[in-house]
Structure 1
């Protein structure tokens, strides 16, 4: 949910589920006792009572700094330069009937005792405020679809200035997955986490700005110009920067991930399709063992008992109602100076379902990191109070860590709780409460409150040496806000003379924010003794590279730096240079560090031009071209050269390939295949013409070998599938007969699917004829792949329509979701014929279907039968017990929803579609159509996965159109495969899997 619960459904689902129980035939509903006596409500504790419930690691204490009525439902906090706290309140969370608004308050400690004693309503007309950031006497506020800048100019505490600075952010139906976590970076930018919902976003500061799709991305925002750039992003609610700007995110079931690259570098090379940037760093991920000290809620115990008795469907949970990550939120790197030094850089994550805060130390792991449990046998902080909900954490002016406690009786969604239990609970309980704590060491003494608003420029510069991250960030922000040019000499002196590496790096970035940074400053930074400063200097050097050979030469030198992280950054930064030495230097870097896939990515990101030159350098090195990683990287460069289709690059690449010795013909063939697989028709013809006899010969040998392997029914399916894909380089007329054989009934489904996947590359009308000729022999799973292929090109769709007209293909085989797509096709003739042909099939209300299957909720189910039904009908998109494709929603915890909610999701998947499970249609420049779930999206590419587990990564330069279907990727109509008893068996299995 916003944030905080696992796969939270809306009130529509909850109300509908309740109605199902109410409308069921009483004769078919198991009798249930009155549960009121067994469901005592857990009473709220007063703020002072709550303080006694905490178990904290030795050496620390927790203090209350604000509570109701001063604050309620706090979900984000930002301190201004004078220590005032802007806090967003979200009473609408879990309250679907709520008619009011959220609030932004200013909390202030007026007597300096460390406790907030006044609260003023800064804004009370924001609907769903999810984040706030103090700036220039006011604050930026996230209120999707808007980001606002608001300010009090008359001193009454209420905002009288209200400006929309960005608009277009999505918030999905359940009010979740919204932008959050505004963080200041030393680069003088506010970093935003955009979460899952995406949106078409524009900055109002840019006249006639075109909307930018932000789905799956991150953002950096300039608060002065009010413009933004997209970068990498991920996560759900919670994002943090450590002292050196490394970014970490979290999501409900994934407590900590780090982002391995900045999408702005990837965007330099539009021919690069990178892997997802977010890497899980918790060794056990979701299943990290948690040491919960709160008791299991009575309603959970009752639900477990009713399940074991068969009164309500679901697993008895084996006593495991908690103890692992299901609601991680608010990841924060500790950056203060109040705690002991060895805590600096630790990651802390709130877990609201388990009423605790988890802590991990961060250790190097190649060019990445790993986050290891820091506290043995107990959490850093836990509470016996079930109402404790630590949704967000914050580094504070006093060097401590603040904890925002939403303080709710029920954080779980109503749809997860059977109605006979839910009627005795109150999902809104606690909406008028909320607490803010701070965690300090035992010896902590309250320091004076900050008054940086009155600080001189010289004082702000000196604060860049502070060991407290909040002080450094705030001083940096104020220097950028004020734009006082008298700071330049002070900053330059700090950059060269400070004993603090952080201060030297901050000083360079602050100089840059004042437009005072010079190439000489950067050169000094590149020679700094600290590798972190050298890394920051590399980033700053990029702006000078185009006009300064000296800067580029210095960048080239850093590729031999003794520090691996410096070399990794250098690989990205050298993309700013384009001198004659660059390709040789990048090739040398690959030879040194190329075994690491992240280094190979970084080097290719710098090759918007020059891929052929680097390939030529690397092909001269026999050990590299014989290594597995060498072959892989050369293949990537071959594809880029083919996609770019620049004559000079193609010529350079072919010259290098033709110089390979005869014993390396297989490598030469592979590289030619990679080149031609991405080249356009004109380039292919030029390369295989009479003027390129050797290249044509290599290609012919490659295709002949592929034909032989593809046809060999004794060869391993993986080898045959790879050979079939190579046949995409052929002329269709030369291989049509072979493809016909590959679709025959005797072929394994994997071979048939590989053939269908490859056929889509041929723009030939007879492809559809070949597929439809084989149709009667295709199994249901292969038919789904065949429909996907036939939908790829308009001419093939027409052939599919003819087959439906002739009763060769049934509308049920096409599928309701696909039919809906065809009815909205951009080709008018296709739309009209689809409407005529499939008039009886339509997506719509499925209440009758759901009602007809209510008997499945009371029938005894057979788990083994359900297992087999799942594997037959569901494994194309879902995985359980290591069987299937993990494409759709994670079903490991689905039993917690209750059988009625599961049944509703199965039979009516479009009732509530989460943004990550909405289908998309992508049209390529050559007219091919691809449908599926977007599983990864970067600056350069989009990856869609199909229901059969296969997928495509398409470069944005090759995309003509990308649009959401608005339809769940899970198809309607599963009831046609399952009768009520089989549905009961399937539910029994889903509820039994641990």
Structure 2
């Protein structure tokens, strides 16, 4: 769709809004947004539930217990080619309300204002957890106002590009809060916030399934995930798992846009087809495991993925094998939702209290950060006037055609017994909220009902929620979990085995051994995987009881990496004992497992840990850092768009001196004097460009980051240099020992 058509539709929408507000004299503002350009899978309906003027550049939402939408907005993001307002306090968190209860937001109010790029929020513990880099905050809520602000983490995220900083704040079934682009998780226990390492996951957006596994993605891989529950494979700090977590669940990255879209590397071979249609995902984000319970049965636990660069949302179907998860795109020639409106920028998806799927549509012309924009994209954006599409924002709702929305229960008025009953609800949002409500409200009177729910027949999902409600209330016991593991279905057994680790002791070892013997006899790969991950901990109190069971599982799954990692993850400091004990067994010949043990032992001796245990926070990504330094040091002469400044400095855009990254490194480090040609155009300035080598505060990494940004921003062939190469170039002097000349640069390039 052309920009003129986009603008025409938006003008029509605004005109309808004016008629509604002033012609009909209603007291509510409900803009009418046309959806003619949207194609949705048959059997579903699409509705705009919130839009401008209530929204501007929304990026994440959550719902409170009244069903109201809370939204975080970043209007300072990419409102021009340079992202000029990125560091200005123009962001906010709003409460959206539907006062006339017709399904469309007609009122909004600011909850928190004057924020700098807030990018995530979550309603937890009766308050609001939110991220405003570099900090993570929690505030209590009184009369829709923030009170008692608490700093949860002072280094949650480095300031910079929101594409590459932690986000998500997903409360999982295990009572921990997880993030994308982060290796930390959080929870509050007895009023104190806890933070601990976890697997590093994805880029933008995170979701969980009914079992508690996590799903995420990055730009070019539309669906990643863990085959196992969180933190199962990272309990041994000297093991860095490779088979169980951060796995590409499908190799199929194909996308099926309805039209030719504007993408950053559209000039590169294979990015677009012969009709200029995007072939594979380049900006995938915001995955969602649908758990709403109102879509047709074969949609339950499907994963929907945002593809904002293609103006579409795709659907993946999951298949669980017990020790792995496999995804497959639902269709090979179409998408679940696609549009020809190039302003449609889905960036996040949510399960709603009514069982619908909610789409956060940033509705912005430019969604790529200025640090990454190629010259090709800049030209396309200008030509289509997409850089003028900045004052919009939408939240859309997808419903099944047969969906009848149920009234949201008022959690504040429900009895304890009613909250327990809600753990059996078909809607995963309701189940999760009821579980959390029982915990943070400290509903100790629910303990017996929760135990009865866990032990009764049927509904394994309700049992899992009840187990973790009991865990959050500190109401579990060894004997109870053993009873659950004896009677439960496979998924329930697995969670019981995981929770039993809190009760590892010599006293409990005999009964644990008997339980594990029965579980091994079930020959269920899922149970075996988690049992294997626990045996090492139990070996810590009784090697003779649990080592034979470990051997049984190793023999059952020979040369299978995910089982090797599971067993190794629980070994703690017993790798050498296990290796030596296995070596003397005549029939044991699993070379891969022995090799893994050897590697872990070597890592322990060297003190080389899994990076998640040594990284305090995520650093600013290199091109964002390079862009910041370019604007501070270089833009005053070369222009913010690399266009050069008459009489002062030549252009960088498409310059042959930028394409050659080593030549560029020499210029930045040592400077340049005398005449120079750029694309056969001569430039002869009286002033020499000074090099940065004399500035002791600028490191090799700084120089490498500037090169990463400049070659990306001003050429169609970005090439980075390593810090080591920059170090070499520092000592590569010109003949004068001062600035280089163009002749010397050309001679260097020919070497």
TM category, shorter: 0.7 to 0.9
- Equivalent positions of 1:879-918 (< 5 A) are 900-902=714-716, 905-906=718-719
**Of 125, 145, 150, the match for 2:139:** 150
Deviation at 1:525, TM superposition (A): 1.7
CA contact (8 A) 1:559 1:571 kept: no
Deviation at 1:517, TM superposition (A): 0.9
Aligned partners of 1:850 and 1:75: how far apart in 2? Answer: 49
In structure 2, the residue matched to 1:118 is 107
1:521 and 2:505 correspond = no
1:134 and 2:102 correspond = no
Aligned partners of 1:316 and 1:374: how far apart in 2? Answer: 22
In structure 2, the residue matched to 1:801 is none
In structure 2, the residue matched to 1:186 is 173
TM-score of the superposition, structure 1-length normalised?
A: 0.58
Distance 1:358 1:422, change over 3 A: closer
Distance 1:898 1:181, change over 3 A: closer
Aligned length, in residue pairs: 631
**Of 545, 548, 552, the match for 1:584:** 548
CA contact (8 A) 2:133 2:157 kept: yes
In structure 2, the residue matched to 1:568 is 529
Query: Once structures 1 and 2 are overlaid, which stretch shifts more, 131-140 or 46-55?
Result: 46-55
1:221 and 2:187 correspond = yes
Query: Once structures 1 and 2 are overlaid, which stretch shifts more, 346-355 or 124-133?
Result: 124-133
Aligned partners of 1:475 and 1:275: how far apart in 2? Answer: 35
CA contact (8 A) 2:186 2:193 kept: no
In structure 2, the residue matched to 1:331 is 287
Distance 1:261 1:502, change over 3 A: closer
In structure 2, the residue matched to 1:166 is 153
CA contact (8 A) 2:234 2:240 kept: no
Partner SS state of residue 377, structure 1: coil
Deviation at 1:622, TM superposition (A): 4.4
Deviation at 1:128, TM superposition (A): 1.2
Distance 1:73 1:524, change over 3 A: same
Partner SS state of residue 474, structure 2: coil
CA distances 1:115-153 after superposition (whole Å, capped 9, x unpaired): 222211000122111110012442101111111112332
CA contact (8 A) 2:345 2:362 kept: yes
CA distances 1:263-298 after superposition (whole Å, capped 9, x unpaired): 7444543443433731111222xxx2211113445x
TM-score of the superposition, structure 2-length normalised?
A: 0.75
Distance 1:583 1:115, change over 3 A: same
Aligned partners of 1:325 and 1:470: how far apart in 2? Answer: 29
CA contact (8 A) 2:97 2:106 kept: yes
Distance 1:133 1:977, change over 3 A: farther
**Of 262, 274, 279, the match for 2:241:** 274
1:59 and 2:39 correspond = no
CA distances 1:792-832 after superposition (whole Å, capped 9, x unpaired): xxxxxxxxxxxxxxxxxxxxxxxxxxxxxxxxxxxxxxxxx
In structure 2, the residue matched to 1:73 is 57
In structure 2, the residue matched to 1:854 is 678
Partner SS state of residue 595, structure 1: coil
Partner SS state of residue 342, structure 1: helix
**Of 452, 455, 466, the match for 1:493:** 452
Aligned partners of 1:971 and 1:85: how far apart in 2? Answer: 54
CA contact (8 A) 1:74 1:405 kept: yes
Aligned partners of 1:570 and 1:463: how far apart in 2? Answer: 30
Aligned partners of 1:137 and 1:679: how far apart in 2? Answer: 42
Deviation at 1:356, TM superposition (A): 0.1
CA contact (8 A) 1:39 1:424 kept: no
Aligned partners of 2:594 and 2:494: how far apart in 1? Answer: 28
In structure 2, the residue matched to 1:103 is 92
Distance 1:178 1:412, change over 3 A: closer
Deviation at 1:530, TM superposition (A): 1.3
Aligned partners of 1:110 and 1:498: how far apart in 2? Answer: 42
In structure 2, the residue matched to 1:432 is 391
CA distances 1:734-792 after superposition (whole Å, capped 9, x unpaired): xxxxxxxxxxxxxxxxxxxxxxxxxxxxxxxxxxxxxxxxxxxxxxxxxxxxxxxxxxx
In structure 2, the residue matched to 1:392 is 348
CA distances 1:685-739 after superposition (whole Å, capped 9, x unpaired): xxxxxxxxxxxxxxxxxxxxxxxxxxxxxxxxxxxxxxxxxxxxxxxxxxxxxxx
Distance 1:40 1:391, change over 3 A: same
CA contact (8 A) 2:39 2:339 kept: yes
CA contact (8 A) 2:416 2:443 kept: yes
CA distances 1:647-680 after superposition (whole Å, capped 9, x unpaired): xxxxxxxxxxxxxxxxxxxxxxxxxxxxxxx899
Aligned partners of 1:52 and 1:850: how far apart in 2? Answer: 59
Deviation at 1:973, TM superposition (A): 8.0
In structure 1, the residue matched to 2:569 is 605
Partner SS state of residue 148, structure 1: strand
1:290 and 2:251 correspond = no
CA contact (8 A) 1:498 1:504 kept: no
**Of 582, 590, 597, the match for 1:637:** 597
Deviation at 1:488, TM superposition (A): 0.6
Distance 1:411 1:857, change over 3 A: farther
Distance 1:899 1:69, change over 3 A: closer
Deviation at 1:64, TM superposition (A): 1.1
Deviation at 1:503, TM superposition (A): 0.8
Aligned partners of 2:504 and 2:50: how far apart in 1? Answer: 50
Partner SS state of residue 169, structure 1: coil
CA contact (8 A) 2:292 2:357 kept: yes
Deviation at 1:511, TM superposition (A): 1.1
1:176 and 2:163 correspond = yes
Aligned partners of 2:132 and 2:345: how far apart in 1? Answer: 22
Aligned partners of 2:604 and 2:361: how far apart in 1? Answer: 53
CA contact (8 A) 1:232 1:262 kept: no
Aligned partners of 1:249 and 1:333: how far apart in 2? Answer: 10
CA contact (8 A) 1:556 1:574 kept: no
CA distances 1:562-589 after superposition (whole Å, capped 9, x unpaired): 2201111111122331212222221221
**Of 549, 557, 560, the match for 1:596:** 560
Aligned partners of 1:333 and 1:233: how far apart in 2? Answer: 19
Aligned partners of 2:229 and 2:140: how far apart in 1? Answer: 32
Aligned partners of 1:399 and 1:851: how far apart in 2? Answer: 67
Aligned partners of 2:272 and 2:477: how far apart in 1? Answer: 66
In structure 1, the residue matched to 2:401 is 442
Structure 2 spans left out of the alignment, 5+ residues:
14-30, 609-664, 683-703, 734-739
Aligned partners of 1:175 and 1:474: how far apart in 2? Answer: 28
Deviation at 1:635, TM superposition (A): 3.0
In structure 2, the residue matched to 1:251 is 218
Distance 1:970 1:541, change over 3 A: farther
Partner SS state of residue 257, structure 1: strand
Aligned partners of 1:264 and 1:615: how far apart in 2? Answer: 24
1:416 and 2:374 correspond = yes
CA contact (8 A) 1:233 1:259 kept: no
Aligned partners of 1:317 and 1:983: how far apart in 2? Answer: 38
Deviation at 1:521, TM superposition (A): 1.6
CA contact (8 A) 1:556 1:582 kept: no
CA contact (8 A) 2:78 2:84 kept: no
1:370 and 2:326 correspond = yes
Partner SS state of residue 573, structure 1: helix
CA contact (8 A) 2:529 2:563 kept: yes
Aligned partners of 1:274 and 1:265: how far apart in 2? Answer: 10
**Of 219, 228, 235, the match for 2:202:** 235
CA distances 1:55-100 after superposition (whole Å, capped 9, x unpaired): 1111111111111111221111111111122110111211422234
Aligned partners of 1:349 and 1:498: how far apart in 2? Answer: 35
- Equivalent positions of 1:199-210 (< 5 A) are none
